Amino acid sequence: MTPIEENGLMLAVFGFASYSTAVHKLEAGDRIVMYTDGILEASNGSGDFFGHDMLCHLLTKTTELSPAMAADSIISSVGQWSGKQDDDLTVVICDYIPKWGESGSHSRC
């Protein structure tokens, strides 16, 4: 996994926000996962956060699922972890499929 972290501000909401640009070579089968802070900050009855490690574990467990099924599994797992979630839960998962005959490409993030 190669994490790409941004400043955490919602896109296009704040005029003062600035965002960086990165270029990463994608290979067939690479998966891009974007999520809101509600995923990582969901807490259970003991006050423990769901966190980055749990998310990475789930991503590893769901690699064979379609992007939609993997996202549903993550949302469901966070809901079971927290019981009651007050923050937004958004997960977007995209699998990279190169054009025919193309071994890799670049993606701007």
**Residue ranges of the domains in the chain?**
23-108
> For 67-104, what is each residue's pLDDT tens digit?
999 999 999 999 999 987 778 889 999 999 888 766 55
**Cα–Cα distance between 36 and 58 in angstroms, integer?**
16
**Cα–Cα distance between 104 and 25 in angstroms, integer?**
7
Burial of 51 (0-12, 13-18, 19+ CB in 10 A): middle
What is the SS3 assignment for 58? helix
Q: Assess whether pLDDT exceeds 50 at residue 1.
A: yes
- 43-56 average pLDDT score: 92
Cβ atoms of 87 and 41 within 8 Å: the answer is yes
> In this predicted model, which residue has the larger pLDDT, 18 or 68?
68
